[in-house]
Each structure stands twice: as structure tokens, then as C-alpha cells.
């Protein structure tokens, strides 16, 4: 992977947003792969600003989120459907019906993963996938032990990830136990991966992803199998790189 070390989260966001703007300019119906969590927020903010300034038409841009919690009540503000609407669709002015999030409704969960995988394929695949990385080394919600060829499927979150994400919920017990996530195989089919990581808490996972052995026990290391992966990190997240 190409590693770019920047001075701040803001600078990283500008850089990632530039790649997204270039993509949309060359392909007005581009397919964006969208991460949630804290990491991509500076990218989405920068992108919203750039799109406004450039007056780019994004009405045909399509999107696929990486993952969703299983079993949150419909409309829960921390469901990734709600987060993607609030942080991405609205500020960027995307067409809501063109932006997809896996369906975490337990009633239909048996078919949701295959449906999602098919929808991505039918769209012609993801052009640029934004990724964060968890302290466990997960990308998407592919926790350690996930097959490097895995498709979209239901997974169990690790206690570490539930604790890390508890900040978004009223109580740690409210963090769902299950999720539906694009697989590592799904992620690897995107044509360009842009992985972002900020802060000292990500340094170990980031070094393992970029320089460690490629292994299912370090899901982020799968990016080493990708011919076009860009890693944008701040100094603190880069601290454990050789």
C-alpha cells in the first residue's frame, strides 16, 4: 500500500476528499464505499465543502455502506442507516435512494447479506472504498478470524469493539452484539481502497495491517493483497510503522 503521513485529521480528510472529487468528476455515477464511525468524518466534511465550491452534480452518485448493526429499532439515531443519512447523504446532497446500507432487521436478516452482495455486484462494484480500522484490526466489522475471502454476512462483534463503540450509545449494554458487514472478499473487490487511521490507539493495528503478515487474525492486513490501496494516517497512528 501507498502510505501517506499527514499533519492532521483535517489534512487527511482533504486528501481523501480530493480522490473522491476526482472520481466523481470522471464518473458522475461513481459507486462510493462508505465507512461510518469517527474516522471518515473529516473526509465527509471536506467532501461536502468541495462539492459545494465546485458545484459538481452528484445526483447520480451511488453509495454502499460497509456495515450495519443487527436489531436496533428502526430509526435509531446510531443505526448506520441513520448515520449515513446524517453524515453523508444530507451534507453531500446525494440521492437517498442510490445510497445503500445493509439491512439489520432481524426479520429479514437471512437474506439480507446475499441481497447486499448482489446489489453491489449489480452496481458494477465499488469504485472507491473508504475504510477505517478498529483497534482489533477489523475493517468493516470483520473481526480477527474472518476469512480473507469472506462475503457480506452476519458477524458477532468482539467485546473490545462493543466497548469502543459504546461512546455512541446511552449505555454499553445498548451496543448490539451482532452486525451485518461487507466481507473482506467484498472489500477487496473495490477498485481503490483508502484506509484512514488517526491517533495512538490505532498505531498497532495500522502497523499490523500495513507491514504485518497477511493473516485472517489481522483483517486489516488484507489491504496488502490489493493492487491499489492508499493509507492516510496522522503521525500518532503511524508511530509503530517500521
Q: How far is Cα 214 from Cα 207, in angstroms, rounded to an integer?
A: 12
Q: SS3 for 107?
A: helix
CB of 57 to ligand F6R, least distance (A): 27
> Which three cell numbers, joined as nine digits, stand for 34?
462508505
Q: Nearest approach, Cβ of 94 to ligand F6R (angstroms)?
A: 17
Which cell numbers hold the place of 32?
A: 462510493
Catalytic residue among 138, 164, 208, 234: 138
In the residue annotation, 67 being an active-site residue is answered as: yes
In the complex, the residues that contact ligand F6R under the rule CB under 6 A are 35-39, 66-67, 132-134, 138-141
Residue 173 is among the residues annotated as catalytic for this protein: no
Pick between residue 64 and residue 141 the one whose CB is nearest to ligand F6R.
141
Catalytic residue (one of 117, 143, 208, 234): 143
> Is 143 assigned a catalytic role?
yes
State in angstroms the smallest separation of the CB of 222 from ligand F6R.
Answer: 12
Nearer residue to ligand F6R within complex by CB, 51 or 197: 197
Contacts 24+ apart (CB under 8 A), 111-118: 112/180, 113/151, 113/152, 113/153, 113/154, 113/180, 114/151, 114/152, 116/64, 116/152, 116/180, 116/182, 117/151, 117/152, 117/186
Measured at CB, which residue is nearest to ligand F6R? Answer: 132
* Residue 54 or 225 having the CB closest to ligand F6R: 225
How, if at all, do strands 178-181 and 153-156 pair?
Answer: antiparallel
Residue (10 or 56) nearer to ligand F6R, CB: 10
As annotated, the active-site residues are 67, 138, 143
Amino acid at each position: 500500500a501507498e502510505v501517506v503521513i499527514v499533519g492532521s485529521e483535517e489534512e487527511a480528510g482533504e486528501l481523501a476528499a480530493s480522490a473522491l472529487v476526482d472520481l466523481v468528476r470522471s464518473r458522475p455515477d461513481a459507486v462510493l464505499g462508505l465507512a461510518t464511525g469517527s474516522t471518515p468524518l473529516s473526509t465527509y466534511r471536506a467532501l461536502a465543502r468541495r462539492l459545494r465550491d465546485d458545484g459538481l452534480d452528484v445526483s447520480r452518485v451511488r453509495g454502499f455502506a460497509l456495515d450495519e448493526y443487527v436489531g436496533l429499532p428502526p430509526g435509531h439515531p446510531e443505526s448506520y442507516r441513520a448515520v449515513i443519512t446524517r453524515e453523508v447523504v444530507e451534507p453531500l446532497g446525494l440521492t437517498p435512494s442510490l445510497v445503500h446500507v445493509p439491512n439489520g432487521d432481524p426479520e429479514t436478516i437471512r437474506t439480507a447479506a446475499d441481497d447486499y452482495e448482489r446489489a453491489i455486484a449489480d452496481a458494477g462494484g465499488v469504485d472507491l472504498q473508504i475504510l477505517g480500522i478498529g483497534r482489533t484490526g477489523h475493517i468493516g466489522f470483520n473481526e480477527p478470524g474472518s476469512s480473507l475471502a469472506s462475503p457480506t454476512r452476519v458477524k458477532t462483534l468482539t467485546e473490545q469493539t462493543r466497548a469502543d463503540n459504546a461512546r455512541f450509545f446511552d449505555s454499553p449494554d445498548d451496543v448490539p452484539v451482532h452486525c451485518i458487514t461487507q466481507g473482506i472478499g467484498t472489500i477487496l473487490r473495490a477498485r481503490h481502497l483508502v484506509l484512514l487511521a488517526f491517533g495512538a490507539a490505532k498505531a498497532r493495528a495500522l502497523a499490523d495491517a500495513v507491514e504485518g503478515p497477511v493473516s485472517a487474525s489481522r483483517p486489516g492486513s488484507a489491504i496488502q493483497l490489493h493492487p491499489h490501496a492508499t493509507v492516510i494516517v496522522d503521525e500518532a497512528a503511524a508511530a509503530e510503522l517500521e
